[in-house]
């Protein structure tokens, strides 16, 4: 805690957008309006267009949010994706020096960045650079990621809404699959962490499931990056369920990998486009799903017999900005933004905002906001705890208890 | 009109399921319960498992729905996909003889079949076979298809809910695309007819759009099977929008075809799986989207320069059984089922139920149910009227007026 520097605030959004990232943006803005702007400490709230690009480039690309009325902010909050625009830039030392330069030019004393662990790292470096240069600026990281892979957090804003989409999609798709039979593979986002794919298990509507995959409600099989993927076991699993039921619904993370940690996707893909982070592109392409479908078709076609009906859907970008959110997610995303503004007003020198679950009693889920050091969240990725997985091809009741309160009420369906 | 034969009723569901096909099932059942069952003309209402398979096979696979309580029926009605199970079987003459045999064994005098134009054709053949054999049976076709391609109908149950999904998906995805830029291709179901893909245009939130694709709200470009697809024009269109905006959202039907009527999908695909109807598999595979993305990347990468960010999502099966429907669709799907039971009670010898729009005044959309000869609906496919398309790469205001009342209220979003 220390005396509050007087100047302007900058806020930006980074990485893959979510359905509730604008809730966090609005949370910061309204928190500042009622706090540091009202007290005269902050003169202007400046939105950075396309994240740090908006402050790093000459002249800047900034939008004044200082006097934005509550009514307008409410509409923005309910709008999916990043209203300021986002960026995939992962600033290195030099880039961070440019950011600091832009901040000084605009007299930024409070820096808020909404994003994943890369964004926390940007905050950390900029914070350090400012300190080295003797320029007083306070950096706050506001969590966001559908991957749910930030350390120090029970879960992250954006995850619950995407999980709700994945659950609903598997509910509808399971009924579709049951009506016509065959094998259905659904590829879900999640490069390092399986949380989002695991949400498919909520489509079953029950906590406990059988060790025998053929006795589980759909999805019968779920594969996540945390559990080594063995192609032979996968094909045996599918064969077991399909032979017993004439159908099989499978959820699979885009980031499944073998025992050596090598991703399965690129091994099945035709092309291998690499993004700015050196990662092979897995989303926005149906290649992993199609590759798995080909493998299943090949393995399960009897000699001289008919190939089973195998279909693959890659959920792709629909799952992260679907315009119907989990209500808890929307509230919490707003809350982490407000909390960041509050920490700034309270004189904190910088932090990463966190979500802590305080009650998981059924029907009485509660959470509160905390803070962690930027360095504790930056770069690190959280993986699913071991007890969220079961039997190499399933998700446990422990995950159900963890995730169910977050996605909100689900529809109930009938059966003939 | 004639004396009503006494006996049992059979009901089945056929083809690709929809989010509201169980509404039609329940409509028929409750219509019969209150009509021909109450009057003692129909003894049993028998559900055929997996469509005509459930009656054609020895012994049959039938479920008694006669006394099913209204409360149970209501839950079934709100359940996506075909609760009785569905089938892709397209019965030939011999198969239809087996169906008739099953009907005689079970004393079926009223035959209801919910499905597309293939199902209408099954009704037609079975009807004829029964007449030839001097067996009195009345066959009713209840319309269903997300493709919206049945003749004699203003639109068909299942379409509006799928259209709502496609619209919402494009709304969220347009904001996603705007936040990070690049080219986004969305492949929508629709082999012969472009209605469902055209629904992407509702995501714009406005009727009229510019001749210049770069001046339209997203989706900037929309391609349907009814308009010949010219690869060079497509690439020029994308280049025009991307050069102007740094982004481009594209909706494309899985069934787009060239001027000679040859589908583009198979021309870009690795494998060429053929289904029971002799069609190459287009859904449940990301191949068309990936193929178009490859072509765009190749064409738009400057010599020695950086490839643009191009992503493709194939909406696949999610769009047909998404568990949140258009409310008008749900009501009409229930209504066509009830109407079929009513026509049976009124002594009609057989018909295909139709939907007629009676008012399109904004805020006062109305429809009623009619009937057509089975032969007028059987096999024929309806295509989009010419005036639903514009400029070779766009959808018109006339389509907007047609489709908007069906999908129901859409969310409103903000912009910074």
Over the stretch B370-388, which tens digit does the pLDDT of each residue have?
999 999 999 899 999 999 9
Residue ranges of A for the binding site?
A: 16, 117, 145-147, 189-191, 254, 317-320
Backbone torsions φ then ψ of A379, nearest 5 degrees: 65, -40
- Residue A208 burial class via C-beta count within 10 angstroms: exposed 0-12, middle 13-18, buried 19 and up: exposed
Task: Specify whether B179 is located in the same domain as B251.
Answer: yes
Minimal CA separation from A414 to chain B, in Å: 5
Report, as an integer, the average pLDDT of B79-105: 94
Q: Which two tokens stand for residue B238?
A: 């994308």
How many whole angstroms separate alpha carbon A226 and alpha carbon B28?
Answer: 49
Residues 6+ apart with CB under 8 A from A261: none
- CB distance B79–A316 less than 8 Å? no
| % of chain B residues with pLDDT over 90 | 89
pLDDT band at B261 (very low <50, low <70, confident <90, very high): very high
Contact B66, B45 (CB under 8 A): yes
> Could you tell me which residues are beta bridge partners of residue B252?
B187, B223
| A227-259 pLDDT per residue, tens | 999 999 999 999 999 999 999 999 999 999 999
Query: Is residue B189 in some structural domain?
Result: yes
Domain of residue A180, residue span: 164-319+386-407
| Average pLDDT for chain A | 94
| A189-224 pLDDT per residue, tens | 998 999 999 999 999 999 999 999 999 999 999 999
Report, as an integer, the average pLDDT of B265-269: 79
- CB distance B414–A315 less than 8 Å? no
pLDDT of residue A266: 83
Contacts of A293 in chain B (CB under 8 A): 284-285
pLDDT of residue A228: 97
Query: Is residue A30 in some structural domain?
Result: yes
- CB distance B285–A283 less than 8 Å? no
pLDDT of residue A278: 47
- CB distance A179–B86 less than 8 Å? yes
Task: Specify whether A188 is located in the same domain as A299.
Answer: yes
Give the range among B39-43, B55-59, B151-155, B251-255 with minimum mean pLDDT.
B55-59
Query: Is residue B115 in some structural domain?
Result: yes
Task: Specify whether B169 is located in the same domain as B287.
Answer: yes
- Residue A246 burial class via C-beta count within 10 angstroms: exposed 0-12, middle 13-18, buried 19 and up: middle
CA angle A362, A365, A368 (to 5 degrees): 160
Query: Is residue B86 in some structural domain?
Result: yes
How many whole angstroms separate alpha carbon B317 and alpha carbon B17?
Answer: 10
Query: Is residue B412 in some structural domain?
Result: no
Report, as an integer, the average pLDDT of B94-103: 94
Minimal CA separation from A386 to chain B, in Å: 30
CA dist B51 to A112, B48, B124, B317, Å? 58, 5, 15, 20
pLDDT of residue A3: 86
CA dist B112 to A116, A175, B29, B350, Å? 54, 22, 10, 9
Nearest CA in chain A to B323: A172
pLDDT of residue B266: 83
pLDDT at A267 over 90: no
**Is B61 an active-site residue?**
no
- CB distance B179–A13 less than 8 Å? yes
Nearest CA in chain B to A75: B414
| A115-167 pLDDT per residue, tens | 999 999 999 999 999 999 999 999 999 999 999 999 999 999 999 999 999 99
pLDDT at B309 over 50: yes
Give the range among A339-348, B71-80, B93-102, B154-163 with minimum mean pLDDT.
B93-102
Q: Is B147 annotated as a binding residue?
A: yes
| A49-92 pLDDT per residue, tens | 999 999 998 888 999 999 999 999 999 999 999 999 999 998 98
- CB distance B176–A316 less than 8 Å? no
Residue A29's SS3 state is helix
Selected catalytic residue, list B147, B173, B329, B390: B147
pLDDT of residue B350: 93
| A31-49 pLDDT per residue, tens | 999 999 999 999 999 999 9
- CB distance B75–A413 less than 8 Å? yes
pLDDT of residue B272: 44
pLDDT at B277 over 70: no
Domain count of chain B?
Answer: 2
pLDDT at A359 over 70: yes
Task: Specify whether A168 is located in the same domain as A280.
Answer: yes
Report, as an integer, the average pLDDT of B168-193: 97
Q: Which of A24, A23, A58, A62 is nearest to A45 (CA)?
A: A62
Across A272-295, b (16+ Cβ under 10 Å) vs e yields: ebeeeeeebbbbbbbbbbbbbbbb
Contact A348, A372 (CB under 8 A): no
Nearest CB to B84: which of A79, A184, A416? A416
Q: Could you tell me the strand order of the sheet in which B364-372 lies?
A: B62-64, B42-48, B7-13, B108-115, B138-143, B350-361, B364-372
Query: What ipTM did this prediction achieve?
Result: 0.95
Hey, of B179, B184, B272, B291, which one would you mutate to test binding to chain A, going by the most A CBs within 10 A of its CB?
B179
Contacts of B284 in chain A (CB under 8 A): 184, 293, 310-313
Contacts of A317 in chain B (CB under 8 A): 173, 176, 184, 311, 313
Nearest CA in chain B to A281: B311
Contacts of A318 in chain B (CB under 8 A): 169, 172-173, 313, 315, 318
pLDDT band at B290 (very low <50, low <70, confident <90, very high): confident
Task: Specify whether A392 is located in the same domain as A368.
Answer: no
How many whole angstroms separate alpha carbon A353 and alpha carbon A370?
Answer: 6
Establish how many alpha carbons lie within 13 A of residue B120's alpha carbon, considering only the half-sphere containing its beta carbon: 25
| A371-394 pLDDT per residue, tens | 999 999 998 999 999 999 999 999
pLDDT at A280 over 60: no
pLDDT of residue B58: 82
Q: Which residue has the higher pLDDT, A115 or A288?
A: A115
How many whole angstroms separate alpha carbon B285 and alpha carbon A131?
Answer: 52
Supply the DSSP string of A320-365, one letter for each residue.
HH-SS--HHHHHHHHHHHHHHHHHHHTT-SEEEEEEEEEEEETTEE
- In CATH, what number is assigned to the domain containing residue B244? 3.40.50.460
| Virtual torsion, Cα B61, B67, B70, B72, nearest 10 deg | -40
Nearest CA in chain A to B47: A416
- CB distance A284–B271 less than 8 Å? no
- In CATH, what number is assigned to the domain containing residue A27? 3.40.50.450
pLDDT band at B38 (very low <50, low <70, confident <90, very high): very high
pLDDT of residue A284: 55
- CB distance A322–B176 less than 8 Å? no
Contacts of B115 in chain A (CB under 8 A): none
Task: Specify whether B254 is located in the same domain as B296.
Answer: yes
pLDDT band at A287 (very low <50, low <70, confident <90, very high): confident
Residue B138's SS3 state is strand
How many whole angstroms separate alpha carbon A50 and alpha carbon A27?
Answer: 18
pLDDT of residue B228: 97
Query: Is residue A416 in some structural domain?
Result: no
Task: Specify whether B249 is located in the same domain as B292.
Answer: yes
Q: Is B319 annotated as a binding residue?
A: yes
Hey, of B171, B180, B184, which one would you mutate to test binding to chain A, going by the most A CBs within 10 A of its CB?
B180
Distance in angstroms between the alpha carbons of the first and the last residue of chain A: 64
pLDDT at B76 over 90: yes
Task: Specify whether A13 is located in the same domain as A147.
Answer: yes
Q: Which two tokens stand for residue B19?
A: 């989010």
Task: Specify whether A179 is located in the same domain as A237.
Answer: yes
Q: Tally Cβ neighbours within 10 Å of residue A55.
A: 26
CA dist B233 to B124, B223, B255, Å? 43, 11, 17
Give the range among A68-72, B87-91, B197-201 with minimum mean pLDDT.
B87-91
pLDDT band at A272 (very low <50, low <70, confident <90, very high): very low
Q: Tally Cβ neighbours within 10 Å of residue A373.
A: 13
pLDDT at A400 over 50: yes
Report, as an integer, the average pLDDT of B83-107: 94
Task: Specify whether B30 is located in the same domain as B141.
Answer: yes
Contacts of A290 in chain B (CB under 8 A): 285-287
Residue A254's SS3 state is coil
Task: Specify whether A352 is located in the same domain as A306.
Answer: no
Minimal CA separation from B350 to chain A, in Å: 27
Backbone torsions φ then ψ of B122, nearest 5 degrees: -60, -45
Nearest CA in chain B to A82: B179
Report, as an integer, the average pLDDT of A93-115: 95
Question: Taking the mean position of all CA atoms in its chain, how far away is CA A349?
Answer: 27
Minimal CA separation from B133 to chain A, in Å: 32
- CB distance A79–B13 less than 8 Å? no
pLDDT of residue B284: 55
CA dist A283 to A278, B144, B184, B307, B321, Å? 14, 33, 12, 17, 23
pLDDT of residue A277: 44
Establish how many alpha carbons lie within 13 A of residue A366's alpha carbon, considering only the half-sphere containing its beta carbon: 5
> Could you tell me which residues are beta bridge partners of residue B138?
B110
| % of chain B residues with pLDDT over 70 | 95
| B128-170 pLDDT per residue, tens | 999 999 999 999 999 999 999 999 999 999 999 999 999 999 9
pLDDT of residue B265: 87
Query: Is residue B110 in some structural domain?
Result: yes
pLDDT at B27 over 80: yes
pLDDT at B30 over 60: yes
pLDDT at B118 over 90: yes
Report, as an integer, the average pLDDT of B350-361: 96
pLDDT of residue A93: 86
Hey, of A26, A164, A414, which one would you mutate to test binding to chain B, going by the most B CBs within 10 A of its CB?
A414
Give the range among A10-19, A269-278, B247-256 with minimum mean pLDDT.
A269-278
pLDDT of residue B375: 95
- The three state secondary structure string of B340-352 is HHHHHHCCCCEEE
Task: Specify whether B17 is located in the same domain as B141.
Answer: yes
| Average pLDDT for chain B | 94
pLDDT at A270 over 70: no
Establish how many alpha carbons lie within 13 A of residue A324's alpha carbon, considering only the half-sphere containing its beta carbon: 19
Query: Is residue B413 in some structural domain?
Result: no
């Amino acid at each position: 805690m220390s005396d509050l520097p007087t100047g302007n605030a900058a806020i930006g959004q980074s990485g893959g957008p979510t359905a509730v990232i604008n809730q966090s943006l609005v949370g910061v803005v309204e928190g500042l309006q009622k706090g540091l702007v009202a007290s005269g400490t902050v003169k202007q709230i400046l939105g950075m267009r396309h994240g740090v690009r908006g402050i790093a480039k000459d002249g800047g690309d900034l939008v004044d949010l200082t006097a934005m009325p509550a009514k307008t902010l409410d509409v923005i909050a309910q709008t999916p994706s990043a209203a300021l625009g986002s960026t995939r830039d992962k600033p290195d030392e030099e880039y961070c020096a440019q950011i600091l330069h832009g901040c000084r030019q605009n007299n930024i004393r409070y820096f808020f960045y909404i994003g994943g662990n890369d964004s926390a790292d940007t905050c950390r470096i900029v914070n350090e650079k400012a300190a080295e240069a003797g320029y007083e600026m306070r950096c706050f990281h506001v969590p966001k990621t559908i991957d749910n892979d930030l350390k120090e957090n029970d879960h992250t804003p954006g995850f619950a809404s995407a999980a709700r989409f994945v659950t609903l999609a598997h509910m509808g798709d399971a009924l579709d699959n049951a009506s016509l039979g065959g094998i259905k593979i659904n590829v879900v986002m999640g490069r390092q962490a399986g949380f989002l794919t695991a949400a498919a298990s909520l489509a079953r509507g029950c906590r406990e499931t059988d060790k025998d995959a053929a006795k589980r409600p759909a999805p019968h099989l779920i594969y996540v990056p945390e559990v080594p993927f063995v192609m032979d076991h996968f094909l045996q699993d599918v064969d077991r369920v399909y032979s017993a039921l004439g159908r099989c619904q499978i959820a699979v993370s885009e980031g499944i990998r073998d025992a050596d940690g090598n991703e399965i996707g690129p091994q099945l893909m035709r092309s291998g486009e690499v993004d700015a982070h050196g990662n092979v592109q897995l989303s926005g392409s149906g290649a992993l799903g199609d590759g798995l479908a080909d493998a299943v078709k090949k393995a399960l076609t009897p000699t001289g017999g008919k190939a089973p009906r195998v279909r693959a859907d890659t959920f792709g970008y629909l799952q992260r900005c679907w315009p119907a959110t989990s209500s808890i997610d929307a509230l919490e995303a707003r809350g982490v933004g407000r909390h960041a503004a509050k920490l700034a007003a309270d004189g904190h020198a910088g932090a990463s905002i966190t979500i802590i679950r305080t009650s998981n009693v059924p029907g009485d889920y509660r959470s509160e906001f905390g803070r962690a050091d930027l360095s504790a969240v930056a770069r690190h990725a959280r993986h699913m705890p071991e007890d969220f997985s079961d039997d190499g091809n399933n998700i446990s009741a422990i995950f159900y208890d963890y995730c169910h309160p977050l996605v909100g009420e689900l529809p109930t369906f009938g059966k003939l």
